[in-house]
Structure 1
Amino acid sequence: MAVTIERRPEQTEVLRRVIDTVPALIGYWDTDLRNVASNLAYVDYFGLTPDQVRGMHIRDVLGPSVYELNKPFIDGALRGEHQQFDRTLIDAGGKIRFTQATYIPDVVDGVVRGFVVHVSDVSERVQAEKARDDAVTLFETAMSNAPIGQAVVDTSGRWLQVNQAMCDLTGYSADELRDLSFRDITHPDDVPAADLHLAQLLEGSRTHIESEKRYIRKDGSIVWVQRNAVIVHGVGAGAADIVIAQIQDITQRKNAEAELARQAVTDALTGLGNRHSLMAQIDALRHLRADGVGLLFLDLDGFKSVNDTYGHSAGDELLADVASRIRRTIDDGDLACRIGGDEFVVIIYSATSPEDIERHRVALKRAVAGDYLLPSLTEPITIGASVGSSWSNTGDHRDHRDLLTVADQDMYRDKIATRHAIVATQPITPPDDH
């Protein structure tokens, strides 16, 4: 038995006020697509009052073009199927509205009697989504076309998004990087600093990180990078914080800096250390050495005559060969320097006693003195060497630069002794009786 609900006039008036205050289109259309009821929102959308809309065909309200677009949904509602779709409308004031329309079938005893229309203005949401999508598109476009590496990292350090420049920099594909964290490709010596920087970003003690670090490329080679990173806090429920990083290859610059630093302490002719390098190491001895250290001072005998007889090019070749012999004679951990002209100084870190430094002195003298076949000469030349030594005992608090003075003085004693030995071994020429 059907139940009839009788509404009093005041209830109908309240219902009318309710639907008129709803900020959405509300209407009822019968199966002939004629309007039965509508609210005041139709004035804003179509410039028609509820009284004017009543009895109109839906096509005349929507207009022919919108009607044709909506007809499949109208037909669906008349079949008893719930419909929901998005539609762009131009209202009576010429304003573009992005709407979401819902058609709800009115079914009585299994028969569709009409359908209720509910149309909400979702322009703000659509514009916000468009702004978001535009921002995402702009970000992705900027990343894709950036000439330097760009990446998005989560708070655990895993790569979320990388651009092609980052792939080129590391040698990994984007998919391979997404299976890794930044720690997996960071040089082990640089991981502690990188972890500290991430922690500072997360705790808020720093908002921006700028640092230089090393990555290990997929092929095992090392690349120096300058990394600039900022944290972006998630907006909205469940949104995660992320770190956005720009990563630039500075390997060439670092290599150039290293080469300049090397040149500053390297003798250009021989590749040994220079005077600056020697004095820096001597000054550091008091801080680096707890035990004794030995020093050798070597000067070539007869070098001036090589320059005078064969030219300075031959003299340079001789100095380079002397440097090679010194390298082959001393231990890997010892430091050899050319401090000017034909003078060389060697810090023998490996020496353990004055007797040991004397053994090194004799070995160096024997190695350097002798015959040299230079590239520019057809005959070998013979050169001598004078070598002095000095030793600093454990706990000796004197200026370690004195080691150089003592070794220099000892070298001159060796030079005088060598000359005397040469004179003593020369044969005595008998006087000419004639």
Structure 2
Amino acid sequence: MRFSATSRLILLAVLLSLGIGGLFARSIWTLREEAWHHAERTSVNLVRTLDQNIARTMESVDLSMQRVVEGVTDPYVMALPVEMRQRALFDNSLRVQGIGSLLVLDRAGNVVIDSEFLEPRKANFADRDYVKVFDSGAHTGLYVGAPVRARLTGRYSLPLSRAYYGPDGQLAGVVVGTLRLAHFQSLFEALNLGPGGSLNLFRSDGIVIARFPFSEDVRGRSLAGTANIRAFQSARSGVFTGRSAIDNVERLYAFRHVGDYPLMVNVAQSVDDILAGWYRSAWILGGFALLLMAACVGLAGLFARELRRRQQISARLEQAERDLRTILNNLPSMIGYWDRDLCNRFANHAYLDWFGQAPGQIRGRHIRELLGDELYEKNRPYLEQALQGHEQLFERTIVDPAGVERYAIASYVPDFDGDEVRGIFVQVTDITERKRMEEALFEEKERMRLTLRSIGDAVVCTDAQGLVTYLNPVAQRLTGWQGFDAAGRNVDEVVHLLVPDDQAPQPSPLRLALQQKKPVEPTRGVVLHRTSGQRFDVEESASPITDRHGQITGAVAVLRDVTDAVAMAEHMAHLAQYDALTDLPNRVLLQDRARQALAHARRDGNSVAVMYIDLDGFKQVNDTRGHDVGDELLVQLAQRLTGAVRASDTVCRQGGDEFVVLLPGIDAAEQACQVACKIMAACSAPYQLSSHVLSVDLSGGIALFPEHGQDFEALSRHADAAMYAAKHAGRRQFRLYAGADAESVRVALEGDRASACS
């Protein structure tokens, strides 16, 4: 396989750079190994020194304690005077650095001899592990306890203890010595292992005795079972790399077991501290190596690129030209370039469709030859502006070779060479379809606008957020908002729908249509005119507007003005229950109120009165004065009757000149008689009727519940019978019904001032 000169040059540069990189990598790795081995040697030496120092201290304390054990078991020593006994027992202990008190405890844990006081301090240590272990017989010899706060001095210390026995071989007590933990801390602090270094003294079971850096919460903590403790326990000494269970820092650990004592000491240097110097050297050497390698490869690459550059540029230019022509020829728009003399330099295939000429036929020709004189003259102002450096955008109508009129939008973009225009880029896009669609859309919108203006209902349109976009004239009349004022406002502000019989706001159907995404059935409500406050009863229905993808784009609400219909319905409802002439309740409403009054009377134990009243000589008034005068007389009579009774009473026109009065909630017949007297008095005065003055007499009958009937029909019959009895008795009087076989009782005559019920 043959390689070109460029390939061989690049290969040589790559091999050279790889060689440089390999040499530097070897040097960097050698520096790392030297730094690591130096750290291992330093750690091993330090841990050996600590081991020896701590072992000597432990040995000194143990010897002192053994001397005390020998003394307390020697009757001769114990027989000495106290001061001499103290010197004999504790003389050696005073020379041990870091030692605290030496105490002799009896088997119960009480202090019997104190190295610091002739009179031993009062304390009991039966709860300490160094007493319990000997008491249980589980240990002999020296026992190293867990670090504790001294009960007598309050200082943290490491208790060491030995048992002593009586002549019978039974446990007599325990000798306890303490090493102050501060002694170990000062010993550790004298060593400088860097910011991430650590020194630790453990009991063999993993309990922390002392640590540097010092941490109060670590002292006495058990790390048994952790990976580092298992490594310490697996051998008498060693070196390994591990991660601390206390602070999770990776360190190089050198450890040793302290003599024959159940203690372990380790020196730990942070891996980051050990390799910090090496990292700096590695970065410097590595960066220099990479720089050399990059320089070799870069120089070779620059040279090779320069060799290939001309070929690549030439190939790219050819490819770019082909791609550009392909793109331009497949665009639906006419794309062309005309120099400053307006001669064509380029034209795409779209010119063939528009002008019936291929790009090769157009190239080099003046634009006038292509457009023709008429179209050229129309376009010349835009061409001149473009040649002066101003972009042009305009619409134009062109007739193609088939004679079809087509709409186009033309763009003239100047091509600058510095400050000078050297040509024009021309783009002409066919917008015939868009124009037709715009015209069709305009016509459709115009039809919709005219339709909405001509319909009798109010129409409100909003966008998807419920902001008003359109109000037809009827909606403007109902709401008092002009279209331009309402545009962009919340529909609830423009069309504020209220509950028909209340001023409380009612949920907007249009909002519901937007939220539920479906049409809302007509809702009755009231709309207040914005300025005049006029009330309009309306029925509002609403529907969402969606696009072809089903997305909500707005909503339309139709409000039908039903004010006249509501008024007519209310009027018809009123006529169904009231007399058209006098506006008094008719018999239908009277019967309903009578049923309620009788129900209350049965519940409350009181009475109800029904009065039948008839005008005396009313037919003669109609015959002589005319029906208009008679109607006016009935109206005034109705007003006097209403004024003579309570608001809770009901005056009803039965028909013609006959009236009925319902008196609910009365206690006795005397009350009905008094009302009859008031009616006679109120109606006896002359009536002023247009140009006539008339005096009219009344006749009436009264029936009472429950004496004269249990329902309204019975009371009506009996009151009617009493009224006819009054007419037969001479008129101008009221009669109280007294029963089917008895004559009715006269209760009031015209002019009477009081009732005559008896």
Shorter-normalised TM-score: what interval?
0.7 to 0.9
Quote the residue 2:441 is aligned against.
132
Secondary structure, in 3 states, of the residue corresponding to 2:532? Answer: coil
Q: 8 Å contact 1:224–1:249 — kept in the other structure?
A: yes
Paired letter, 1:320: V
| 1:225 has 2:538 as partner | yes
Taking only the aligned residue pairs, the percentage that are identical comes to 26
Quote the residue 2:556 is aligned against.
243
Kindly state the Cα deviation for residue 49 of structure 1 after the two structures are TM-superposed: 0.7
Paired with 2:382 and 2:622, the residues of 1 have a C-alpha distance of: 104
Q: 8 Å contact 2:517–2:544 — kept in the other structure?
A: no
Choose the corresponding residue for 1:92, options 393, 401, 405: 401
| 1:264 has 2:576 as partner | yes
Choose the corresponding residue for 1:108, options 406, 410, 417: 417
Paired letter, 1:414: L
| 1:387 has 2:696 as partner | no
| 1:344 has 2:653 as partner | no
Quote the residue 1:167 is aligned against.
476
Paired letter, 2:441: R
Quote the residue 2:686 is aligned against.
373
Q: 8 Å contact 1:296–1:407 — kept in the other structure?
A: no
Quote the residue 1:397 is aligned against.
none
Kindly state the Cα deviation for residue 290 of structure 1 after the two structures are TM-superposed: 11
Q: 8 Å contact 1:295–1:407 — kept in the other structure?
A: no
Secondary structure, in 3 states, of the residue corresponding to 1:272? Answer: coil
How far does the alpha carbon of each residue in 1:276-326 deviate from its partner, in whole angstroms, 9 at most, with x for none? 22234456779999965964422226x354435874847655543332123
Within-5 A mapping of 1:167-186: 167-174=476-483, 181-184=493-496, 186=498
Paired with 1:421 and 1:207, the residues of 2 have a C-alpha distance of: 68
Secondary structure, in 3 states, of the residue corresponding to 1:268? Answer: coil
Kindly state the Cα deviation for residue 38 of structure 1 after the two structures are TM-superposed: 0.9
| 1:55 has 2:364 as partner | yes
Kindly state the Cα deviation for residue 74 of structure 1 after the two structures are TM-superposed: 1.6
Secondary structure, in 3 states, of the residue corresponding to 2:496? Answer: helix
**More relative contact order in 1 or in 2 (CA 8 Å, sep 6+)?**
1
How far does the alpha carbon of each residue in 1:319-365 deviate from its partner, in whole angstroms, 9 at most, with x for none? 433321232134445543223455434455xx5x441x757634431
Q: 8 Å contact 1:152–1:161 — kept in the other structure?
A: yes
Paired with 1:289 and 1:100, the residues of 2 have a C-alpha distance of: 92
1:310/1:223 CA distance change after superposition, 3 Å: closer
Secondary structure, in 3 states, of the residue corresponding to 2:636? Answer: helix
Paired with 2:593 and 2:748, the residues of 1 have a C-alpha distance of: 35
Kindly state the Cα deviation for residue 237 of structure 1 after the two structures are TM-superposed: 12
1:359/1:137 CA distance change after superposition, 3 Å: farther
Paired with 2:361 and 2:697, the residues of 1 have a C-alpha distance of: 122
Within-5 A mapping of 1:348-427: 353-355=665-667, 361-370=672-681, 371-374=684-687, 375=689, 378=693, 380-390=695-705, 402-406=711-715, 408-409=717-718, 412=722, 414=736, 416-419=743-746
Paired with 1:421 and 1:345, the residues of 2 have a C-alpha distance of: 17
Paired with 2:464 and 2:363, the residues of 1 have a C-alpha distance of: 59
Paired with 1:80 and 1:191, the residues of 2 have a C-alpha distance of: 67
How far does the alpha carbon of each residue in 1:64-113 deviate from its partner, in whole angstroms, 9 at most, with x for none? 23322322222232223333333332222333333232223223344322
1:337/1:43 CA distance change after superposition, 3 Å: same
Quote the residue 2:331 is aligned against.
22
Give 5+ residue unaligned stretches, structure 1. 393-399, 426-434
Kindly state the Cα deviation for residue 146 of structure 1 after the two structures are TM-superposed: 4.5
Secondary structure, in 3 states, of the residue corresponding to 1:241? Answer: strand
Q: 8 Å contact 2:539–2:561 — kept in the other structure?
A: yes
Decide which moves more: 41-50 or 93-102: 93-102
Paired with 1:131 and 1:288, the residues of 2 have a C-alpha distance of: 73
Name the larger-Rg structure: 2
Q: CA RMSD of the aligned region, Å?
A: 4.2
Secondary structure, in 3 states, of the residue corresponding to 1:409? Answer: helix
Secondary structure, in 3 states, of the residue corresponding to 1:55? Answer: coil
Paired with 1:141 and 1:240, the residues of 2 have a C-alpha distance of: 22
Quote the residue 1:42 is aligned against.
351
Decide which moves more: 200-209 or 273-282: 200-209
1:240/1:379 CA distance change after superposition, 3 Å: closer
Secondary structure, in 3 states, of the residue corresponding to 2:507? Answer: helix
